[in-house]
Structure 1
């Protein structure tokens, strides 16, 4: 699979490393256009412009959203040779891609950072995409983790917000859990290790269990016990659920504002 990548920052770089490690693409078949060379896998071609000849199987857009128009002016003619263009730019939808890059079928993805270890989530939205394009996108994204297609734009937006921002919120939760352990008298290193391993083990258990996370929480909490008393704090007036809903809504609202800026 021959790839052209326009921009290869943290997220695109994480995806690229996983693609090469999994064997879905070869380093020598990847051409990256960046403003400056980055630390990418050996064999990947880095340049300031796209190749003069040939055509890729897929083009990946990994620049900052505010660079979309600049990139389109510079590269749209060459990108027209591709059959599919995949964007991971927040606030950029398929219609914007179709307008700025006529020719290739537009696909919008929202990956999250654990794609680098094959444990990520990739939400995909591509209205009216062909079966051939869908198969190519599926083949490329499969090594990254869970791949979910959403026909409904609102569902894609919600899934992207949940998966894309979720790791940062979970990192913050781990940090807060560790800080709470310190306040209870644990040494910093001990609190950090216990919090990290507790979250990691619980997540793996939940992923492998047929019961829902809510059922697992109740199973751990004996009536009148320590865990139940703690859950009572989180469950009172749906405190935790309300907080996370507000958190995701803030992320979604920012995404909509960015999309409006792109259209305007």
Structure 2
């Protein structure tokens, strides 16, 4: 990705795991680190050439700001950052659950505010990034789309309620997959595999299955049927997962818990301190 996609300085207000993964991918794809400033209280370095400060730079006005801190830090960040931004600054928030109205309440000047919900595979360019904005600035939206493209599959949503579900499904999804990989490896170890070999086989199995599911011209349930021979070993295992809808019910309850927490964060953010 070439720097012409950046119309000016890029600031990251906070740089946790997700924002750090996005930044690392952007730099790999060609953004000049000299055009990036990371503002974080710790002042810990990010990478070669990236300016890291504990306060907001006074020598420039950012073209794009990524809110990459934790949602509970929103008010502290907004108090210091909001007065710096101008109308043309594109504000991108990856704060789970924090609605656009809550952002506009704290950042009244920028014309374009965009909510983005990435997941951790953005680090490899294999992420999912949901996007939502009430801005009709087509240039700003296109610029943001271009910025997100190297991170993986970027998709715009017209409905904020639907966008919020991206947090639940795609944002939390990798952690659920990692838990399944752990469980698959642990199950193999309990059956007698050495732990390291069980994990290696589990990882390779999930990787291959995901690639096939993505490329196949059929749905996952049909792929599962193709793997399952009547009276065979796979059928015996699936009977356990499918008994009384055990797996489906567990996943739905897991996603619902994630969604409830997103709604709680949204409610907390509406109450400006």
**Corresponding residue for residue 157 of structure 1:** 164
User: In the superposition, relative to structure 1, how do residues 82 and 41 fare at CA in structure 2: closer, same or farther (>3 Å)?
Assistant: farther
Of 46, 53, 75, the match for 1:40? 46
Of 129, 134, 141, the match for 1:122? 129
SS in structure 1 opposite 2:158? coil
Alpha carbons 1:182, 1:191 under 8 Å: kept: yes
Alpha carbons 2:41, 2:55 under 8 Å: kept: no
Equivalent pairs, count:
263
Q: Which runs of 5+ in 2 are unaligned?
A: 1-5
How big is the alpha-carbon RMSD for the aligned residues of Structure 1 and Structure 2? 1.4
Alpha carbons 1:115, 1:145 under 8 Å: kept: yes
Map Cα deviations across residues 216-240 of structure 1 (whole Å, 9 max, x no partner).
1111111221111211222222221
1:62 equivalent to 2:68? Answer yes
Map Cα deviations across residues 1-50 of structure 1 (whole Å, 9 max, x no partner).
12011111111011000001011x21000011110223412111111222
Q: Write the distance in 2 (CA, Å) between the matches of 1:243 and 1:157.
A: 21
SS in structure 2 opposite 1:72? helix
Map Cα deviations across residues 72-93 of structure 1 (whole Å, 9 max, x no partner).
1111111235431001112211
Alpha carbons 2:113, 2:133 under 8 Å: kept: yes
**Corresponding residue for residue 174 of structure 1:** 181
Q: Write the distance in 1 (CA, Å) between the matches of 2:170 and 2:71.
A: 19
SS in structure 2 opposite 1:147? strand
Q: Write the distance in 2 (CA, Å) between the matches of 1:192 and 1:53.
A: 50
Of 245, 252, 263, the match for 2:252? 245
Alpha carbons 2:128, 2:154 under 8 Å: kept: yes
1:221 equivalent to 2:231? Answer no
1:76 equivalent to 2:82? Answer yes
User: In the superposition, relative to structure 1, how do residues 159 and 67 fare at CA in structure 2: closer, same or farther (>3 Å)?
Assistant: same
Shift of 1:173: 0.5
Alpha carbons 1:55, 1:81 under 8 Å: kept: no
Alpha carbons 2:97, 2:164 under 8 Å: kept: no
User: In the superposition, relative to structure 1, how do residues 82 and 62 fare at CA in structure 2: closer, same or farther (>3 Å)?
Assistant: farther
TM-score (norm 2): 0.92
Superposed, 1:229-240 pairs within 5 Å as 229-240=236-247
Of 35, 58, 69, the match for 1:29? 35
1:95 equivalent to 2:101? Answer yes
SS in structure 2 opposite 1:5? strand
Of 76-85 and 107-116, more deviation after overlay is shown by 76-85
TM-score (norm 1): 0.95
Q: Which runs of 5+ in 1 are unaligned?
A: none
Shift of 1:157: 1.3
